A and B are shown apart, each in its own frame.
Chain A
Amino acid sequence: MVFMFGRLVWFPFDDAHAWQMWLAQPMVWIATALFFFALLIHSWVGMRNVVLDYIKPALLKLVILVGLGTFLIALGLWSVRALIMVMT
């Protein structure tokens, strides 16, 4: 991801096509997919810890955790859709 950030900063892409082609390379594509996966798992673990520490009532805790899970899964599906769009 540092590589991706650096690539974006130092050699900005001129148009959508160049950006799509770059991301469609297998290694870049896999690294990006893994990054999204790891990022969302990490979001879940971190936010779960925060919620469990500060929210005491059981029902409220459940509601917030379910909401959080839905939120993160939705983001995951969204990024998967974007990544699949690049390949096809």
Chain B
Amino acid sequence: MCGACIDGVLNSLLITVPHADTPCYILSVPSGEIDINMQKKRPVFLDLLEIRLPVMALTSIFHRLSGVVLVLSLPLLVYLFDLSLRDDAGFSQVAAMLRQTEIKLLLTLLAFAISHHLLAGIRHLLIDLDIGVKRRHAIRSAWLVNLVGLLVAVVLVMGVWSCTG
């Protein structure tokens, strides 16, 4: 990656996003909206461990990340759906696949992705309806989404591993 790009990404983390009172932080800011002079005065932390993101930013990023992961998993899921409906052989083939450790590990990942994605999506919809827009509430709901998302995922994962197909 070019140096300018890295600078750009780091700067976009540190500058204040316009309309910062709405809890939607994403790792990209339209360059037109950045005041160049302001940007130069800002300290730039190159140490990744020093960068602290608001919890809303984490929720938002995980929402995107989990969404992309889920889309990438669609071919496998449609394949399993199709194969399981085809005939007896296909059905038992899918049942056997679901007993494999590799598939279970993948389903574990997808369980974390779907539970976080679903809850974060509901949070975003509520915020679109002007519910929980205040910074205080947004922080609380972001934590809630992250934690409950993990909790729901753990329940799903237990289902995945206890199910013998």
Contacts and interface: CB of A to CB of B under 8 A. Distances in A.
A46 interface: yes
B82 A16 contact: no
Which among A15, A39, A46, A85 has the greatest number of chain B C-beta atoms within 10 A?
A46
Interface stretch (B39-47, B87-95, B130-138): B87-95
Given A9-B159, A9-B163, A16-B90, A85 B85 contact: yes
Contacts of A15: 88, 91
Contacts of B64: 46, 50
A57 to B, nearest CB: 13
Given A47-B68, A75-B74, A82 B165 contact: no
A40 B75 CA distance: 11
Most buried by B among A16, A19, A85: A16
Contact residues of B: prevailing secondary structure: helix
Contacts, number: 56
Contacts of B70: 43
A75 B78 CA distance: 7
Q: What are the 7 closest A-B residue pairs judged by CB atoms, nearest first?
A: A16-B91, A82-B82, A16-B88, A46-B67, A43-B71, A53-B28, A79-B78
Contacts of B165: 12
Given A9-B159, A78-B82, A79-B82, A16 B68 contact: no
B138 to A, nearest CB: 20
Nearest to A36: B78
Contacts of B78: 75, 78-79, 82
B57 interface: no
A23 interface: yes
Interface in B110-143: none
A9 B78 CA distance: 18
B22 interface: no
B87 A16 contact: yes
B34 interface: no
A19 B163 CA distance: 17
Interface string A44-63: 00110010011000000000
